[in-house]
Structure 1
Amino acid sequence: MKKKVIVTCAVTGAGDTAKKSPHVPITPVEIAQSAIDAAKAGATIAHIHVRDPKTGGISHDPALFQEVVERIRESETDVILNLTSGGGGDWIPSEKNPVIGGPGTDMQTPEERHEPIAKMLPELCTLDCGSLNFGDQLYISTTDWLRKQALLIQQCGVKPELECFDTGQLRFAKQLIDEGLIDGDPMFQFCLGIPWGAEADAETLIYMRDKLPKNAHWSAFGIGRMQMPMAIQSMLLGGHIRVGLEDNLYLDKGVLANNAQLVERAVTIMAGLGTAPMTPEEARKHLGLQNPHRKAEI
């Protein structure tokens, strides 16, 4: 177990959770403030999605990402920003014609998914490493799309966090490395407990950890009630951790949480085990990240 670990806070996500908790941030102001609060509570990294400010639903608007990023940077709160580039992959077949996407379908090209990354040049961005039966819908991220997206990320000098929701996605992430599309020591995130991906249990986590390249950095999270157990299990097995309202809405049974409270809970448990969160500056050196204040040339 490491003496210091990276703590990621996944601030809001894209799921239909805004109606389930008043603490889920929706507007750019709320998302930025929640990320700042999480950083002050001990988060090393803030993982950022944006939402439609009027509906609370999913959005991919680069202008919303820009406002969130600028608000966080202008606050002078030191936190590593990890923007999602996995949006626009939701496919729900139409009942009348499965060739056509039905209500709830939301698809983007690799170039469209990459647009907020190219515009804001965060230190990190996610790369979801395959397609998946994601609950009652299909998340689509084909191998050719992923190769194109990985190249776009590589060309703009952002480090990808390789999101693996199942074991086959871990295999393909390693293929991207073998093809030279991932620079430096790779960074993996194991996303556990999503219906119907890899299970959130120690056996699955150990299996996936043991399949990693020797020079890999890695983290893991579980959803719902498995958030804290999998965060601490990841730490005990030598990885980093992720908590936040994207994955879980509750601090205790029946008690809704905010992001800072979830980070504080994780940090408190870590302290009892003799571990502390890395500072953003320590994590930048550990992961080999680019200058956080560089500007896009577009």
Structure 2
Amino acid sequence: MLQPREKIIITCAVTGNQTLPSMTPHLPVTPEQIADACLGAAEAGAAITHIHVRDPSSGMPSMEIAYYREVVERIRARNRELILNITTGPGGRFAPSEDDPAVAGPGTLFLTPAKRTEHIALLRPDIATLDLNTMTFGAQAVINTPPNVRKMAKVIRDAGTKPEIELFDSGDILLMHDLVADGTLQGPHLASLVLGVKYGFRPAPETVLYARDMLPENTEFTAFGTGRAAFPMVAQAYLAGGHVRVGIEDAVYLSRGVLAESNAAMVEKARTIVEQLGGAAMSAREARAHLGLADAGRTTQRAAE
């Protein structure tokens, strides 16, 4: 059985696409705010920041490449070591219309694998998420078919970027095994267990252990919870031998009734939990070496090519 590590990696997911501006006044929206949130999280102890972008005028999720590029450039102008993990999640959502379920209705954003990974091919970040879930998501469905996942994985691999495999339920892990077996995914692997999304993994200690033990060999894993499960899952992930993640993408409260004023505050609390349990957070440089990522100078050069 895996034991808690001496040092773990903290990832901060600073904005996401599910948290609404109406939920918290502290949600980063503009490229400048998102970049500043990433830099603040790094100063608080995060080695990785997970990045989505938003439309600056509405605050709603966006896939505009110019926003991604601005976020990356702003971060790299001030911090060359921080590991950048950019999403490929948007573009897999389907909502059937009421009159004809074969026709997309309001809320649908269903795009080709090439479009969902276009920004990865251009910006070539350290890490890109690769979602394996097909599941009910609110009143809509998220659809990630194996053929589309394979196409997205190839773009990520060709960019020299490491995929982080996002796992929302046990069937996703079985798909990961198939992708490893056919060579779509090549180790060492990096996976993230997403706990607390309705109709997915339940955020509980036994879930983390069950999912951890299903993972392919040679897999580093992070486990994180959404909403009120965010900080309990920090402790559970650490105790199960994994890495941890927090951020305003996943939760907006620092404690009961107290909104987190920043992503940095959430990282500080997560780091404190880990330290009180006997661990410590890796620096970005240590995390690069641990995950086998290119050094910071090379990743900055790649993005500029």
TM bracket (short chain):
over 0.9
Structure 2 counterpart of 1:99? 102
1:281 and 2:288 equivalent? no
Report the TM-score when normalising by structure 1.
0.97
Structure 2 counterpart of 1:202? 205
Matches of residues 28-67 of structure 1 in structure 2 within 5 Å?
28-67=31-70
1:232 and 2:235 equivalent? yes
Equivalent residue in structure 1 for 2:299, among 275, 283, 292:
292
Shift of 1:58: 1.2
1:146 and 2:146 equivalent? no
* 3-state SS in 2 of match to 1:295: helix
Cα distance between partner residues in 2 of 1:107 and 1:214: 32
Structure 1 counterpart of 2:81? 78
Whether the aligned pair in 1 keeps the contact of 2:131 and 2:167 (CA below 8 Å) is yes
* 3-state SS in 1 of match to 2:223: strand
**Letter of the structure 2 residue corresponding to residue 79 of structure 1:** L
Cα distance between partner residues in 2 of 1:283 and 1:16: 28
Whether the aligned pair in 1 keeps the contact of 2:5 and 2:238 (CA below 8 Å) is yes
Shift of 1:85: 0.9
Cα distance between partner residues in 2 of 1:90 and 1:272: 40
**Letter of the structure 2 residue corresponding to residue 143 of structure 1:** P
Shift of 1:296: 4.7
Q: Report how many residues are paired.
A: 298
Structure 2 counterpart of 1:182? 185
Percent of aligned positions that are identical: 46
Q: Structure 1 residues 126 and 99, CA, compared in 2 at 3 Å: closer, same or farther?
A: same
1:192 and 2:195 equivalent? yes
> Residue deviations 1:200-235, cap 9 Å, x none?
111111111011123110011110010011111011
Whether the aligned pair in 1 keeps the contact of 2:135 and 2:199 (CA below 8 Å) is yes
| Contiguous gaps of at least 5 residues in structure 2 | none
Cα distance between partner residues in 2 of 1:190 and 1:226: 13
Cα distance between partner residues in 2 of 1:152 and 1:47: 19
Shift of 1:51: 0.6
Shift of 1:171: 0.8
Shift of 1:178: 1.2
Cα distance between partner residues in 1 of 2:275 and 2:299: 28
**Letter of the structure 2 residue corresponding to residue 293 of structure 1:** T
Q: Structure 1 residues 282 and 297, CA, compared in 2 at 3 Å: closer, same or farther?
A: closer
1:24 and 2:31 equivalent? no
* 3-state SS in 2 of match to 1:171: helix
Matches of residues 130-141 of structure 1 in structure 2 within 5 Å?
130-141=133-144
Cα distance between partner residues in 1 of 2:38 and 2:109: 26
**Letter of the structure 2 residue corresponding to residue 251 of structure 1:** L
Aligned-residue RMSD, C-alpha: 1.3
Equivalent residue in structure 1 for 2:174, among 171, 187, 202:
171
Q: Give the stretch that moved more between structures: 7-16 or 130-139.
A: 130-139
1:259 and 2:260 equivalent? no
Cα distance between partner residues in 2 of 1:241 and 1:268: 12
**Letter of the structure 2 residue corresponding to residue 153 of structure 1:** I
Shift of 1:288: 0.8
Shift of 1:130: 2.7
Structure 1 counterpart of 2:216? 213
* 3-state SS in 2 of match to 1:127: strand
Shift of 1:16: 4.3
Whether the aligned pair in 2 keeps the contact of 1:154 and 1:181 (CA below 8 Å) is no
* 3-state SS in 2 of match to 1:138: strand
* 3-state SS in 1 of match to 2:185: coil
Cα distance between partner residues in 2 of 1:266 and 1:231: 6
> Residue deviations 1:135-170, cap 9 Å, x none?
221111111100111111111110000000011011
Q: Give the stretch that moved more between structures: 117-126 or 99-108.
A: 99-108
Cα distance between partner residues in 1 of 2:158 and 2:243: 27
Q: Structure 1 residues 286 and 16, CA, compared in 2 at 3 Å: closer, same or farther?
A: closer
Cα distance between partner residues in 1 of 2:187 and 2:132: 18
**Letter of the structure 2 residue corresponding to residue 213 of structure 1:** P
**Letter of the structure 2 residue corresponding to residue 167 of structure 1:** S
